[in-house]
Amino acid sequence: MAGSAAPAPGALLCALLWAAAAAGGGPGGSPAPAAFGRVYRGAVNISAERVYAFAYRSEPGQVDAVRVYVNSSSENLRYPVLFVVRQQKGVLSWQVPLIFRGLYQRTYNYQEVSRTLCPSEPTPETRPSDQIIFVDVASMAPFNIAYELLVTRLENFQLETNRAFNFTASPSQPQYFLYKFPQDVDSVIINVVSDAAYPCSVVSVQDIVCPVYDLDHNVEFNGVYQSMTKQAAITVQRKDFPGEQFFVVFVIKPEDYACGGSVPSSIHGNANRTWNLQRTKSLQVTIVPSIKKSVYVQAMFFSFLGFLSFYLGSVVVAFVHYIRVQRKASAGRLSPEHGSGIMTSSHPISASTPEGSSYGAIDESSSSGGRQMSSPEHRPPAGSDTDSSVEEESDFDTMPEIESDKNIIRTKVFLYLSDLSRKDRRIVSKKYKIYFWNIITIAVFYALPVIQLVITYQTVVNVTGNQDICYYNFLCAHPLGVLSAFNNILSNVGHMMLGFLFLLIVLRRDILHRRAMEMKDIYTLDYGIPKHFGLFYAMGIALMMEGVLSACYHVCPNYSNFQFDTSFMYMIAGLCMLKLYQTRHPDINASAYSAYASFAVVICLAVLGVVFGKNDMWFWVVFSIIHVLASLALSTQIYYVGRFKMDGPDSDLGIFRRAVMVLYTDCIQQCSRPMYMDRMVLLIVGNLVNWSFAIFGLVYRPRDFASYILGIFICNLLLYLAFYIIMKLRSSEKLLPIPMFCIVATAVVWAAALYFFFQTLSSWEETPAESREKNRPCILLGFFDDHDVWHFLSAAALFFSFLVLLTLDDDLDTVRRDKIPVF
């Protein structure tokens, strides 16, 4: 046997000699005293094995770690060399060649192996203690197999706070180190970086328990772990480790598919061959203290007080408005007659129409005739908005059939609000109240299973320790209780608080409107935009539920539950478009049942997109066809002001055929100017935008299908809002200071919010390891990241957007409805 014995402590030397004598001496079974740091070369076979004994002295309170390096030039898998390391409280064994199994049972063998032995626990004794390690080398081969052995004591086994440590590792040479919590630190973040993305690696945090799981096939058995390419971060709390210390384990995987890489091309088709791959990776680990409890309190105060300032601002605005109303009332200027001449100037859209095209224009006599049904003599008292049942309504039109002139009115070139607000106010008001009650029911039935599911997700993460399940920004994920990223949940409080504030603002307007109806019946009924608040209440509930469901999604963000974060965004965008349309089309807007049924179809498509939208071309073809046909059908309904029905006994089953015939007659055969030019321009632009989305989806097939649908909704909403504001200004209507401020605030806040939204911090479209490459540190109070700022700003932006819709037409409150154009 190569090598010579090293000096050993007296007591250990006697023990070794006694063991050698008991074993009968000789290389076949006697332990030979050996020295640390010296290479021993030898050969073993079925009748010759080697035993080495390493002795060392451990100082009081010191943790000593020993690393064993072995090598064998043999690639004979039938007769491997077996290494067994015996310690005082454990045994560690492996073979050389060391075999790893990969995807589809591919095998990889390594002739060089090094392992760190589980360190001895510090003894409470005040004097040094002696330790012995036996290394047995054996083989069942009938011939000699050469090997090399090197045993060393690790000098840098314990990691220090705020100090970077560099090292290398490979699949057969894993590494792990010890970290002890300082006295004043309750939580730390383990930052691991590498210049190379591959080979794929795993970072694990394990308790001080032997054995340490440091191989690819068992690293997931204990503790918390993450896969890694270039970056990983794990937050560790003192309370999770009673001993106030833990191991940080680094394992290199034999293949890269788990991190998004591909299997080496040389292995394709060779499932059972072995390969001695060189997969060494350089890593740097730094352990830094995490935030203190005071930062949690500071962040909570910031979140709640920041949004409570919106409440304070609303109270100030309401108080100023109250003072102004009182002053006007004392001056006798509150009567609508004094302001009814604001819009009595020239024709509201005459600037956009040539002479001679005024067919169907409404004069004072016709307008007054059209208002006979709405006069106070034929209406119930203003305050009689009871809960009595109303007649059944269709999806798009509830105008009583006895009004035989409805189609004549709607075919006029110039429509006024009085033409489309002819129904009984009680019926229309009850129709829009259904939006509010239905969305509450939907919210309850949707949110409860979501909450149950994300709690299960979080429980699985906590129990298994698999941090690849959830796509957090691990460099800024602050745990609280069982939650892994409390900051991402806390930042959604703005949606809930501002949604509730919007409900209070709408409630105040509703109460003031009811009082005005009781005081001045005729003016309230025949002036300004009809006040129906059901959709506004539904929008406030939707904003609050967006905060709840976004918080649920961020409990464990991943590919499967991203739809939770977007479902109520679809509803918010849809409700805003419906409200914008209802403003000047109160009699022909969609019913709550058809609207929510449409949202349900969209959410179903979103679910199908999550399942089939990755690579299935057939799904994108079907979805694009549905998208285009829905755009055409909705365009036809809007262009003809709801005169085409797609259900019921009078349904126009040939709606698409009729639309094609009208297009051919007006645009090709006669090439005449469209009757409703403004609406035609809007619908052409809208269809071009939607067809572009459909083509984009067919060509690129984005994996984030939920965001793709949300983009369609938002673009259509912005397009319609821009059209509405442009037409309002073209009609010589005003923008009062409050809606003007809300429009500017909406634009500014949305611009800032989108900037932070596109600062991608994670992506479940990639593997967890690749997603962590995008992780960034906190940017606000040391607690919130870019996405949290997006939550704050988007909540404020949605709130201002709602206020725009609520106050946009306040300038028309003193204008007669037969002077308010429809567009």
Counting residues of the chain whose pLDDT is more than 70, the rounded percentage is 78
Residue range 140-164, pLDDT digits in tens: 988 888 999 999 988 888 899 999 9
Mean pLDDT across 619-630: 87
Do residues 188 and 181 lie in contact, with contact meaning Cβ atoms separated by under 8 Å? yes
Question: What mean pLDDT, rounded, does the chain reach?
Answer: 79
Is the predicted pLDDT of residue 755 greater than 60, yes or no? yes
Q: What is the pLDDT of residue 552?
A: 93
Interatomic CA distance for residues 84 and 70, integer angstroms: 11
Three-state SS sequence of 395-458: CCCCCCCCCCCHHHHHCCCCCEHHHHCCCCHHHHHHHHHHHHHHHHHHHHHHHHHHHHHHHHHH
Beta bridge partners of residue 167, listed in sequence order: 283
Counting residues of the chain whose pLDDT is more than 90, the rounded percentage is 33
Residue range 515-564, pLDDT digits in tens: 877 776 544 567 788 888 989 999 999 999 999 999 999 999 988 888 88
Interatomic CA distance for residues 567 and 623, integer angstroms: 18
- What are the structural domains, with CATH classification, of the chain? 28-155 (2.60.120.380), 158-260+279-290 (2.60.120.380), 293-320+425-611+730-822 (no CATH), 615-702 (no CATH)
Q: Which amino acid is at 86?
A: R
Q: Which amino acid is at 308?
A: L
Residue range 479-504, pLDDT digits in tens: 998 899 999 999 999 999 999 999 99
Q: Is 252 helix (H, G, I), strand (E, B) or coil?
A: strand
Residue range 345-365, pLDDT digits in tens: 333 333 333 333 333 333 433
Q: Which residues of 563-589 are buried (b: 16+ CB within 10 A; e: fewer)?
A: bbbbbbbbbbbbbbbbbbbbbbbbbbb
Interatomic CA distance for residues 762 and 776, integer angstroms: 9
Residue range 10-35, pLDDT digits in tens: 444 445 444 443 443 345 556 778 88
Read out DSSP for 706-731?
A: HHHHHHHHHHHHHHHHHHHHHHHHHT
Interatomic CA distance for residues 617 and 697, integer angstroms: 10
Read out DSSP for 303-372?
A: HHHHHHHHHHHHHHHHHHHHHHHHHHHHHT---GGGTTTTT-SS-TTGGGS-TT--TT---HHHHHHHTG
Is the predicted pLDDT of residue 3 greater than 80, yes or no? no
* pLDDT top residue among 404 and 743: 743
Q: What is the pLDDT of residue 167?
A: 92
Do residues 143 and 38 lie in contact, with contact meaning Cβ atoms separated by under 8 Å? no
pLDDT tier, 732 (very low <50, low <70, confident <90, very high otherwise): confident
* pLDDT top residue among 643 and 816: 816
Q: What is the pLDDT of residue 375?
A: 41
Beta bridge partners of residue 55, listed in sequence order: 132
Does the CA dihedral 369-370-375-377 come out positive or negative? positive
Residue range 48-79, pLDDT digits in tens: 888 998 888 777 667 788 999 999 888 888 88
Report for 386-390, 672-676, 752-756: range of highest mean pLDDT: 752-756
Closest CA to 250 of 277, 211, 280, 275: 280
Is the predicted pLDDT of residue 689 greater than 50, yes or no? yes
Closest CA to 60 of 9, 130, 128: 128
Written as six digits, the tokens of 167 are 């090292």
* pLDDT top residue among 262 and 620: 620
Q: 245-252 and 201-206: which strand pairing?
A: antiparallel
Closest CA to 307 of 497, 475, 447: 497
Closest CA to 228 of 266, 284, 164: 284
Q: Is 581 helix (H, G, I), strand (E, B) or coil?
A: helix
pLDDT tier, 658 (very low <50, low <70, confident <90, very high otherwise): low
Mean pLDDT across 92-118: 86
Is the predicted pLDDT of residue 125 greater than 70, yes or no? no
Q: Is 150 helix (H, G, I), strand (E, B) or coil?
A: strand
Q: What is the pLDDT of residue 676?
A: 65
Is the predicted pLDDT of residue 674 greater than 50, yes or no? yes
Q: What is the pLDDT of residue 352?
A: 36
For the chain, what percentages of helix, strand and coil (3-state, to nearest 5) are there?
Answer: 45, 15, 35
Q: What is the pLDDT of residue 28?
A: 53
Do residues 312 and 785 lie in contact, with contact meaning Cβ atoms separated by under 8 Å? no
Interatomic CA distance for residues 436 and 596, integer angstroms: 11
**Residue 619 is inside which H or E element, if any?**
helix 617-639
Closest CA to 186 of 237, 152, 225: 237
Residue range 790-816, pLDDT digits in tens: 999 999 999 999 999 999 988 888 888
Is the predicted pLDDT of residue 298 greater than 90, yes or no? yes
Q: What is the pLDDT of residue 662?
A: 60
Q: What is the pLDDT of residue 237?
A: 92
pLDDT tier, 636 (very low <50, low <70, confident <90, very high otherwise): confident
Return the number of other C-beta atoms located less than 10 Å from residue 346's C-beta: 8
Mean pLDDT across 199-214: 90
pLDDT tier, 388 (very low <50, low <70, confident <90, very high otherwise): very low
Q: What is the pLDDT of residue 269?
A: 47
- Cβ-count burial of 319 within 10 angstroms (0-12 exposed, 13-18 middle, 19+ buried)? exposed
